[in-house]
Structure 1
Amino acid sequence: MTERPSAACLLYADVAGGARLAVKLGEAEAGYAVERCLNRMSRCAEAYSANDLKLLPDALVARFPEADSALLAAREMRERVRALPPMSGIKLVLRAGVVLDAEARDAEEEVEAMAARLVAGHNPDSISVSERFSEVLSPSMRRMLSRLEENTGVPFPTLELGDLPPPTPAELRQEAAQALKQMRVSFRGQNWLIDAAHPTLLFGRETGNDIVVADPRVSRQHARIELRSGLFYLADSSTNGTYLLEEGNPEHCIKRDEFILGEKGHIGCGFSPAENMSDAVAFAVD
């Protein structure tokens, strides 16, 4: 099994527009406006459990132990800076870049430099992340990103955070629960695992299925088991139906329909598992 990279990451965010504001209003007034942005940004970082928070004259650097928190913090920083009204027609905006700690080969300064290059290489009012960072996000957070076609000045693949709303706490809890769900399936000495990484298992007579049942009563694409929203569904698409025998329940036939599976049982493709247990598919939820 491939080991997932660490989710510890570094966020670099700066405030763009301060130099133009200084020309128009003077250094002191522009400095005050930038400081107000940085204060809002630092409160967001702290709210999402940032550590090693560092404030620069026009930028913030923070490390997060978890990738989803870093991206949510960057998104809220951008919203809070966007909410500030323009000064003399000049709008201050946030630029942010997030990379994994594990992407650096040597010192901490290199991680910060990588994140700063993300910021410098893209437009103001943008949040960019490295591709490796995106790989450790939860699926719902990853869906908020889009790939950038051109990465001027950035020597590694990057993605950008759009304006889609973030997942709700309930969605994140449901996703976490689904990630822990597993079903073990066995047939004629072979075993399969259905989980968040492999949420679908196909069976039928055709060789392209995960489980191939060579029986004339079995359709080419007979049925499938799917993990959806933390539940395992048995869905039939066959001619002769799919028979389900669960512990403690009478056998029944599912035809062109789907059914939520229980903890343990046997499935017969076009035939009763009670009559032919050796050709039945066995399943058990961990």
Structure 2
Amino acid sequence: MIQMSNPAELRSAIKEERFKAAREGKELKVGLVPTMGYLHEGHASLLRKAREENDLVVLSIFVNPIQFGPNEDLDRYPRDLERDQALAKREGVDIIFAPGTQDMYPTPTKTKVQVAELTTGLCGAARPGHFDGVTTVVSKLLHLASPDRAYFGLKDAQQLAVLSQMVRDLNMDVELVPCPIVREADGLALSSRNVYLTAEQREEALVLSRSLFEARKWYDSGESITPREIRRRMHDLIAAQPLAEIDYIEIVSFPSLEPLAENTAIQELTQPILLALAVKFGGTRLIDNILLHSNEVPVHV
């Protein structure tokens, strides 16, 4: 496993590996796992999938400043490169790309990649400009690593939908591979930001997955239930927790993220449906979701 921070060095190293493989009559498959570090088992699951499907696995670790708003947690976002290196080695990563801000943005960036419409709702409503930062940095990483496949967790379902749109619209030669949400034994979705939670906040945060699992039960029961009613019931469950501050509870088609008819029973719909929420506990904003009407996630590109 090697580590580098210079973008040109990353590009050169991957070109060299592809050249070596070509000389042996082989085609090298490259998998990229973009992260902001402070890795957990959710990231490990992405790395394992990438290791299974590719000859060379690249892990990027970069806390991207342009996707943070002015009052968000850029400065205190958890960082532990030594811990990340140990996890990466365990999962068979070949290259760690861990640039600094000056490496990725040596001069103020005047070019951004922007996806319209899909970025205005859900997390985009509360975090204006966030997805412009995500699409810009992921575009840069895809150009630098030129991977055959890139791996993203479904916990950030809107991000995956937005990136899929970007890849399709710009004819990028990469397959985006969605990977399932990884949860703690008690149901809490793994997130680097979970370390911010106090013991009391973490206990109350279990209501997020609980409300989503209840919504799945309502759907599976065969009860004729509308998006409006699901949202009301989920709101009541979450609002019962004193420390919970609801940002949104939304039910949309996936991956288009288009709103559903409020009073139509979801059992009558055929498209995949995303139930997504964002809730604050103190200063920590957590997101979670589940998919209905979907055995396989239809966002491969």
Alignment TM-score > 0.5, same fold: no
Greater C-alpha radius of gyration: 1
Between Structure 1 and Structure 2, the one with more helix by share is: 2
TM-score range (shorter-chain normalised) is under 0.3
Between Structure 1 and Structure 2, the one with more strand by share is: 1
